[in-house]
Copies of this chain bind each other. A is one copy, B any other.
Amino acid sequence: MAKSEGEGMKVVVLVSGGMDSVVALHHAAAGGHEVLGGLSFDYGSKHNHREIPFAKYHCDQLGVAHQTIDLGFINTHFESALLQSGDAIPDGHYEESSMKQTVVPFRNGIMLAIAAGFAESREAEGLVIAAHAGDHAIYPDCREDFMKAMGEAIQLGTYANLTVLRPFIAQRKEEIAARGHELGVDFAQTWSCYKGGREHCGTCGTCVERREAFALAGLEDPTNYQKQA
């Protein structure tokens, strides 16, 4: 029988190295879960090489084993501006339709499915994913109804009846930032920018959103942006 979210569970955390998943990792460790591993996916995006080292940084800080799963086939076979093989990253706010170009088809489904197999091989009881209330309607595999169905598929398709935990599902990004601040997370050691340059560009959808989250949370933004707002 699967445990409820409140109890201490053996979990694997999906941690990209962005703000939300890094807070989810610290939150899981602080909340009484036994974190068996932190899992990153290198799917050939323009920014994976910037964000994944930060995922490892925070796992190391917490003494959690970190693994990167190579999904090179996505860059080879899938279409998206987010990928090295794709077009340029559009600037602008997330809600604009141009951001649809950055969708990697069924990315969350693929990452959750692989994490489920990985977690079952380690006798975990749950997965943690930093899905949140501000996730964008333009991404079908971020929506609540998808997440519920995928969680059910994972529960039914594993011996351990693995539970998909979404601790931030009712929170907005600025609330996650506030929780991270409370936990002492060093946000300078996180990465958002889709362009994957030496510094955050400051103008792509995910940079705009990062800035907003710090501002709305009333926190100092430690990020060096190429272009100031």
* A residues neighboring B (CB under 8 Å): 67, 69-70, 72-74, 77-79, 103-110, 112-114, 116-118, 120-121, 140-141, 143, 145-146, 149-150, 152-154, 156-159
Contacts and interface: CB of A to CB of B under 8 A. Distances in A.
B146 A109 contact: no
Contacts of A78: 117-118, 121
B73 A77 contact: no
A105 B77 contact: no
A146 to B, nearest CB: 4
Contacts of A109: 113, 116-117, 153-154, 157
A106 B158 contact: yes
Contacts of A106: 113, 116-117, 120, 154, 157-158
Contacts of A143: 156-157
14 contacts: A67-B77, A78-B117, A78-B121, A79-B121, A105-B158, A106-B117, A106-B120, A106-B157, A106-B158, A108-B157, A109-B154, A109-B157, A110-B110, A110-B114
A70 B159 CA distance: 25
A146 B150 contact: no
Contact of A121 (B77, B117, B140, B153): B77
Nearest to A106: B117
Contacts of A74: 117
A72 B153 CA distance: 23
A101 to B, nearest CB: 12
Given A72-B70, A109-B113, A110-B113, A153 B156 contact: no
What are the nearest 9 A-B pairs in CB distance? A105-B120, A141-B157, A106-B117, A113-B113, A149-B153, A146-B157, A105-B117, A150-B153, A146-B156
A69 B73 CA distance: 6
A108 B159 CA distance: 14
